[in-house]
Structure 1
Amino acid sequence: MSLAARLWADNADVVAEVLAHPFVRGIGDGSLDRDLFAGYIAQDAFFLESFARAYGLAIARSGDTDTLLALAELLNGVREELRLHASYAASWGIDMVGVEPRPATLAYTEFLLATAATADLAVVCAAMTPCMRLYAHIGTSLDAGTAGPYADWVRTYADPGFEQVAALLEKLLDRLGDDGAAVRTAYRRAMRLELEFFESAFTARD
């Protein structure tokens, strides 16, 4: 079993909590309050911009051409997600200007940026992989046919193209990483922050 597969398996408890969370279930059956989803989209756009900056920091610190090119491709994938958010903002009238990040959003972005700026690239990959793998898993676990207004969101993360991007990051983690404490801690921390992000989206009222 690859390193990425072991880490994913070892965090199956958090994955189960995410899939069972009322925010995610509400997307899947289309019942989620529209205002909660709009707030989530604004927060997620803020998060994705920091995610892109974390890739940028990793690119600047990459030590070989293969790593640099893989990270550049991953950064391009974030652009596609931001386009989805921009589409929702335009069609739903979501104000994306001057978004105030919630505590859960800040906790996640600050963790990623600090890791990307200071940690080994293997640990950086471990910190960033849960977001990609978890969303690919959510997308294929939900049914766009029952998601109602959130069908496009589900289709985006269920798309084979998104799976390919997630797999690319996992391959980079497998190549650079080891099964050490720093890698495991970063992966687990990111997975818990994902759950806290969905909880914040469900309980906050902007």
Structure 2
Amino acid sequence: MTSLPAPPAGEFCAEAWKRTARLQQAIVDHPFNAALADGSLDRDVFAFYIVQDARYLVGFAQALSAAAARADDAADAAFLAGAAQAALVEERRLHAGYVEAFGLADDEIAGIDTSPTCLGYTSYLRACALTESYPVLLAAVLPCFWVYQHVGSTILRATGDVEGHPYQAWITTYADDEFAEAVLAARELTDKVAARADEGTREQMFAAFSRATEYEWLFWNSAWTKETWPTAKFLD
């Protein structure tokens, strides 16, 4: 699947995207997203992804809330707090719709273990919230905004009319103008904070952005393989 070019970005975001360009393309080309785009993605695989993503969003929202508490500008704090609420309310509503459509019972969901990758990604964001500076935390949460918008927009462009598509709701959620505006706001905030950071902090921001983007690839890959804990067989 041909990827959309990265949207215009400020200095930090432009460099961060450049440093991760091959990984961004690998995410777009991942078999999970290729199958999502053409509608052939197995419902069980998508259901596994939805359950993991709902659990991930709790940790993501906690990291956003921590960033909001550190913001020194009221408008920035309001944006981050609103994004945290949207992750818990709007995006989880999307998940709930698919859970209902797939007929997943509560005991089925409870029976799906949180995958190693899901736990690793949420633990990474929580660790950034606890131990890293505000600029580094912003860089760590940015890929979840930007990568999803990039993937959703790329799929919509490749697919065209998604009316009747089995994953129409997912595609339109992450490819619509309202989400694009939230992504732009997140990028502009990160660029603003990076511009006043010292060189050492900016390098830490690049490292956090790259690591979180790696987790994005790992997350889709873990859903594609329905990742389990290989050590489970050694436990009672």
**Is 1:185 equivalent to 2:212 in the alignment?**
no
For the aligned residue pairs, the C-alpha RMSD in angstroms reads 1.8
Structure of higher CA gyration radius? 2
Match of 1:164 among 156, 181, 203: 181
Where do residues 40-59 of structure 1 align in structure 2 (5 Å cutoff)? 40-59=49-68
**Is 1:27 equivalent to 2:36 in the alignment?**
yes
1:107 alignment partner in structure 2? 120
2:134 alignment partner in structure 1? 121
**C-alpha displacement at 1:81, in angstroms?**
1.0
For residue 48 of structure 1, what is the amino acid of its counterpart? L
For residue 168 of structure 1, what is the amino acid of its counterpart? A
Residue-pair matches, total? 206
Tell me, what secondary structure is at the counterpart of 2:161? helix
Q: What's the TM-score once normalised by structure 2's chain length?
A: 0.81
**C-alpha displacement at 1:152, in angstroms?**
1.3
CA distance in 1, matches of 2:39, 2:142: 27
**C-alpha displacement at 1:95, in angstroms?**
4.4
CA distance in 1, matches of 2:105, 2:18: 38
1:67 alignment partner in structure 2? 76
Task: Flag the 1:121–1:150 CA change in 2: closer, same or farther, 3 A.
Answer: same
User: Identity across aligned pairs (percent)?
Assistant: 35
Contact 2:115 2:227 in 1 (8 A): no
Q: What's the TM-score once normalised by structure 1's chain length?
A: 0.93
Higher helix proportion (structure 1 or 2): 1
Which aligned segments of 4 or more residues in structure 1 are displaced greater than 3 angstroms?
95-99, 144-147
